[in-house]
């Protein structure tokens, strides 16, 4: 209904150069760059999984609830975020309004194609049992739902699939998923949307994992990953560049030939979080190696990593971590991190060879599994009966929900802003809302924390493993 109108309208606007939409990004060497201006793009992001894992059902996922998307996009613009990562998506739902909301807000999206359903992800212990057309209905379904949105920065083919519980050949299956996704996008989408992998910070195999996806395979060029995400919780409290091991990561990735970023960061062992790592991540030492990162995570859940607390559908509270993060984001030198550097963009990946793999336990062959024939048909002809997403028009609007800060003061004037075409959200760029002095009374509404399965946070590294258990597989 509205959708076709929205598409025509948007197409017309695009011709006039006034569409309220971001400019698509592309990969150039180890940088994400703006496809029009060539400016380098660094991710200033948050991980978006409101309600936790258990909120995902066939009727509801994070991008199918527009009222929450308007509210969250407004508060993210205010925070200074330019990218979200969304984990569990159900392809059959209507995502058009939420995707359009973030698009017009100047916020990019990195989308995981896997879901918690049993056929929705690769089984790391027996990948050959799940590498089939049923799995690809999920994977290609997510691509169909989002491929027409300019603010899709990329898709994650997998999250922490390769770990101590994975079998020896699992990397080859994940690389095959990257290949199949890229071939699907090449045939079925209007632009070349990047595909990458998100790794757990398991130092023993981290560099082998990166190398495995990064190297160039002469007989399967499409299987090379376009970017590499790392879930890293090694900076806790007031750590330093050295004590956190960030210096080692920077050195390790200094010769990377694809964009590398923290797909999750924000250790919460010391509270409140002050996010001093932001100055390191976007500082001079690290920006040559890293393209920014995404803080885990937007909403407060049982595992206590939230920046905001959704009290109920009418009320939301920005936590002290939100304010602390905003202060850090506001100190980022945007001009410096956006400037491009020829030696970053004119680099060639190494050719895959067993000698590149350093650990004897890591798979050192690239004999990828053949694409199942039904999956090849999908690639050639498109996924049958796919729910194809379409841009719809959205407008700037005040946020109807009550917003409080962590001290209980009401924040007034929070509004969702449609940016001018080609504009991107970012630190200090928007929202002029302020805290009033009126205190929020001992309100009668009860706090209902969204249910979550993301259980207790654990020692370093544990977060990653739990997350992997919950999010990437069963």
Where do contacts with ligand NAG occur on this chain (CB under 6 A)? 217, 219, 251-252, 254-255, 288, 309, 311, 315, 317, 341, 343-344, 352, 365-367, 432, 443, 445, 447
Active site residue 164: no
Q: In whole angstroms, how close is the CB of 246 to ligand NAG at the nearest point?
A: 15
Spatial distance between the Cα atoms of 229 and 51, rounded to a whole number of angstroms: 23
Distances (CA, A) of 255 to 133, 278, 364, 401: 37, 22, 20, 47
Q: Dihedrals φ, ψ of 180, to 5°?
A: -65, -40
Cβ distance to ligand NAG smaller for residue 17 or 444 = 444
Active-site choice (264, 277, 300, 301): 264
Q: In whole angstroms, how close is the CB of 438 to ligand NAG at the nearest point?
A: 14
Pairing of strands 292-295, 315-318: unpaired
Active-site choice (97, 160, 297, 300): 160
Q: In whole angstroms, how close is the CB of 149 to ligand NAG at the nearest point?
A: 28
Cβ distance to ligand NAG smaller for residue 276 or 288 = 288
Cβ distance to ligand NAG smaller for residue 104 or 307 = 307
Q: In whole angstroms, how close is the CB of 315 to ligand NAG at the nearest point?
A: 5
Q: In whole angstroms, how close is the CB of 422 to ligand NAG at the nearest point?
A: 19
Q: In whole angstroms, how close is the CB of 109 to ligand NAG at the nearest point?
A: 26
Return the closest-CA partner of residue 472 out of 49, 119, 170, 122: 122
Task: Say if CB 52 and CB 450 are below 8 A apart.
Answer: yes
Pairing of strands 40-41, 31-34: antiparallel
Cβ distance to ligand NAG smaller for residue 389 or 426 = 426
Spatial distance between the Cα atoms of 241 and 279, rounded to a whole number of angstroms: 10
Residues in contact with 191: Cβ distance below 8 Å, sequence separation at least 6, in sequence order: 24
Q: In whole angstroms, how close is the CB of 292 to ligand NAG at the nearest point?
A: 15
Distances (CA, A) of 93 to 37, 98, 385: 34, 11, 13
Cβ distance to ligand NAG smaller for residue 92 or 376 = 376
Active site residue 297: no
Pairing of strands 315-318, 308-312: antiparallel
Task: Say if CB 109 and CB 147 are below 8 A apart.
Answer: no
C-alpha angle 461-324-335 in degrees, rounded to nearest 5: 95
DSSP 79-142: HT--EEEE----TTS--HHHHHHHHHTT-EEEEE---SSTTSS--TTSHHHH-SHHHHHHHHHH
Cβ distance to ligand NAG smaller for residue 262 or 366 = 366
Cβ distance to ligand NAG smaller for residue 134 or 369 = 369
Active site residues: 160, 264
């Amino acid at each position: 209904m509205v959708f076709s109108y929205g598409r025509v309208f948007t197409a017309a606007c695009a011709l006039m150069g006034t569409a309220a939409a971001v400019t698509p990004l592309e990969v150039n060497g180890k940088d994400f760059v703006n496809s029009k201006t060539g400016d380098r793009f660094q991710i200033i992001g948050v991980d978006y999984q409101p309600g936790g894992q258990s909120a995902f059902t066939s009727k509801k996922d994070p991008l199918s609830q527009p009222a929450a998307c308007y509210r969250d996009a407004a508060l993210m613009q205010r925070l200074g975020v330019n990218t979200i990562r969304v984990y569990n998506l159900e392809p059959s739902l209507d995502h058009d309004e939420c995707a359009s909301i973030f698009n017009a807000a100047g916020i990019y999206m990195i989308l995981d194609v896997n879901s918690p359903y049993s056929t929705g992800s690769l089984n790391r212990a027996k990948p050959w049992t799940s590498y089939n057309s049923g799995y690809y209905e999920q994977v290609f379904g997510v691509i169909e739902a989002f491929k027409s949105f300019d603010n899709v920065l990329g898709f994650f083919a997998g999250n922490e699939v390769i770990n101590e519980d994975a079998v020896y050949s699992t990397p080859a299956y994940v690389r095959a998923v990257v290949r199949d996704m890229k071939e699907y996008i090449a045939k079925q989408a209007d632009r070349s949307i990047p595909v990458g992998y998100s790794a757990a910070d398991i130092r023993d195999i981290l560099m082998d994992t990166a190398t495995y996806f990064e190297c160039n395979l002469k007989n399967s060029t499409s299987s090379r990953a376009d970017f590499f995400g790392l879930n890293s919780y090694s900076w806790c409290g007031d750590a330093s560049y050295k004590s956190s091991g960030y210096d080692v990561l920077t050195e390790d990735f200094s010769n990377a030939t694809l964009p590398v970023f923290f797909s999750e960061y924000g250790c919460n062992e010391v509270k409140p979080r002050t996010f001093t790592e932001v100055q390191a991540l976007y500082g001079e030492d690290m920006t040559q190696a890293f393209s920014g990162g995404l803080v885990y995570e937007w909403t407060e859940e049982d595992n206590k990593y939230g920046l905001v607390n959704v009290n109920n559908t009418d009320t939301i509270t920005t936590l002290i971590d939100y304010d602390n993060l905003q202060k850090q984001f506001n100190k980022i030198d945007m001009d410096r991190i956006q400037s491009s550097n020829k030696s970053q963009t004119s680099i060639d990946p190494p050719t895959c060879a067993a000698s590149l793999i350093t650990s004897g336990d890591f798979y050192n062959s690239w004999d990828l599994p053949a694409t199942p024939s039904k999956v090849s048909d999908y690639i050639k002809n498109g996924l049958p009966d796919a729910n194809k997403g379409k841009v719809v028009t959205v407008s700037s609007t005040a946020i109807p929900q009550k917003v409080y800060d962590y001290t209980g003061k009401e924040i007034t004037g929070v509004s969702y802003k449609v940016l001018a075409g080609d504009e991107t959200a970012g630190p200090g760029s928007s929202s002029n809302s302020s805290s009033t002095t009126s205190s929020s009374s001992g309100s009668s509404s009860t706090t209902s924390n969204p249910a979550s399965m993301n259980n207790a946070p654990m020692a370093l590294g544990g977060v990653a493993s739990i997350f992997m258990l919950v999010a990437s597989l069963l």
